[in-house]
Amino acid sequence: MEPTIYTPLKVNNEIELCKVYSKRAKQKLESYLLNHGVSYYIKWNKPKLFSKRDESCIFCINNSSKDAVSQAILEMPEEIRNDIDMLLTPSHNDYL
């Protein structure tokens, strides 16, 4: 098989940046990411049978944006930072 121009390209380099527990913190982080052109997606927790509704979600971004976004989260007001847990772990995608 002949190599293509995409052969050396690294893919699946998304990381789970943080887990957000409040709607206000989610909106603030989303606003920052959109205003700075950072590509992201949100993973919502699947509801479990007989459990309370979980409103938390996980923000996933490209690994190359990790430093700038992490710094921005640290500069957010404390009442918003209290609703955010930094994860910084590789994202495990099951769609392939």
Q: How far is CA 90 from CA 19, 36, 41, 44, 72, in A?
A: 13, 22, 14, 16, 20
* Average confidence (pLDDT) over 34-60: 85
DSSP state of 46: P
Could you tell me the pLDDT band of residue 54, with boundaries at 50, 70 and 90?
A: confident
Q: Given pLDDT bands bounded at 50, 70 and 90, which one contains residue 1?
A: low
Over range 76-91, report the average pLDDT.
94
Question: Which residue shows structure tokens 């769609």?
Answer: 95
Residue 51: what are its φ and ψ, rounded to 5°?
Answer: -120, 160
